[in-house]
Structure 1
Amino acid sequence: MAKINWKPGNMLYPLPAVLVSCGNNKDNYNIITIAWTGTICTNPPMTYISVRPNRYSYNIIKETKEFVINLTCENLVKAVDYCGVKSGKDINKFSEMNLTIEKATKIDAPLIAESPVNIECIVKDIVKLGSHDMFIAEVVAVNADDQYIDKNNKFHLDKSNPICYSHGTYFSLGKKLGTFGYSVAKKPKKKYRKK
């Protein structure tokens, strides 16, 4: 098998495709689709989103210093695409996509009720990088849809049918291949029956 050398670029795929909601009142609420997001610290819990400065949501987030990362699932894929290609300066994306505004617990930016998980974030730093600026934020609250929590209080995000993004295409996630640590876990001893 031969490798082809390409110019430097971001080839980390698949990526989460999330809906980031922002704004501090009904007049400036907006949604932007983001694929450049992730975890950057556990304690304190920190995350980031990278946004082009020419995007409508950029200045809203820069001024309010907060946003919500709304995880997405198969029933939100049309909204994910729409909110990534349409500008909030011209339309109300909540109305256009029939998404429900829900009050956050710690910040003024709205949650998207249809999302299985809403991560409330407060911006701590903005790093200018080039085509995008990175908003580094502390997670101040997480809201999870109780329909995905079992009787033992375990959250099952997989049951919400999450999606991801790869090279211009949205995908549903496939079958479970293993759990964290399975490659080094001790195998259960076989039980032998006495004859």
Structure 2
Amino acid sequence: MAKQFWKPGNMLYPLPAVLVSCGIFGEEVNAFTVAWTGTICTNPAMVYISVRPERYSYDLIKKTGEFVINLTTKKLVKEVDYCGVRSGRKENKFARTKLTPEKANKVKAPLIAQCPVSIECKVKEVKKLGSHHMFIADVLGVNVEESYLDAKGKFELNRSDLLIYSHGEYYNMGKLLGSFGYSVKKKGKGR
């Protein structure tokens, strides 16, 4: 297959389309869409978000040193897009989108009630990398929607229709193709 060579750019897709909430619950808060996010480390649990310094939320996060990563679903696609293209400097995006801020357990920033998972984060370091600055954060706790727990208490996140972002478009998760380790799993006796 022939391939074209392009100038440097980001083509690492798909990515989670998350809503990051920041500020202080009950005071000044904002929610904005981020796709430049991910896991850094399991133990200790650490994540990152990359944010343009000119974004309204950048200063809120710098001031408090905290934020919440809220995983989004197919039902929230319009709100996710809206929070990515409108500025919290000009309007209250929680009120406009009817997203519900909830008090977090460990941070001052709000959780978003409609999201199945909310990850409470404390900024550990800010790396100035160019167009975006990376907020490296410790995970202080994870809030999960109880309706996605099975009878044994296992969290079934994939039932929530998670939203992903790929090259300027939103999608929800697709069909299960395998699970971690399935390619090397030993076959049962008698096969």
What interval of TM-score do these two structures reach, taking the shorter chain for normalisation? over 0.9
Q: Which runs of 5 or more structure 2 residues have no equivalent in the other structure?
A: none
Q: CA RMSD in A?
A: 0.9
* 1:27 to 1:90, Cα distance in 2 relative to 1, 3 A: farther
Query: Which amino acid counterpart does residue 83 of structure 2 have in structure 1?
Result: C
TM-score (norm 1): 0.96
Counterpart of 1:153 in structure 2 is 153
What does the per-residue CA deviation read over 1:80-136, in whole Å, with 9 as the maximum and x for residues that have no partner? 100000000111111111111110000110000000000000000000000000000
* Structure 1 gap ranges (5+): none
Q: Is the 8 A contact 2:73 2:160 kept in 1?
A: yes
Counterpart residue number, 1:119: 119
**Which ranges of 4 or more aligned residues in structure 1 deviate by more than 6 Å?**
none
Shift of 1:163: 1.1
CA separation of 1:158 and 1:25: change in aligned 2, threshold 3 A? closer
**Sequence identity (%):** 63
State how far apart, in whole Å, the 2-side matches of 1:117 and 1:108 are. 17
Separation in structure 1 between the aligned mates of residue 26 and residue 153 of structure 2, nearest angstrom = 34
**Counterparts of 1:4 and 1:93 in 2: how far apart (Å)?**
41
Which secondary structure does the structure 2 equivalent of 1:13 belong to?
coil
Query: 1:178-193 alignment to 2 at 5 Å?
Result: 178-190=178-190
1:103 aligns with 2:103: yes
State the Cα distance separating 1:25 from its structure 2 match. Answer: 4.0
In the alignment of these two chains, the number of paired residues is 191
Taking the aligned partners of 1:25 and 1:165, their CA distance within structure 2 comes to 28
Q: How big is the shift at 1:189?
A: 1.9
Larger Cα-atom Rg: 1
CA contact (8 A) 2:68 2:109 kept: yes
Alpha-carbon shift at residue 190 of structure 1 (Å): 2.4
Partner secondary structure for residue 153 of structure 2: coil
Amino acid across the alignment from 1:135: F
Q: Which moved more, 1:60-69 or 1:21-30?
A: 21-30
1: CA distance between counterparts of 2:152 and 2:9? 43
Aligned partners of 1:2 and 1:172: how far apart in 2? 30
Does residue 53 of structure 1 match 2:49? no
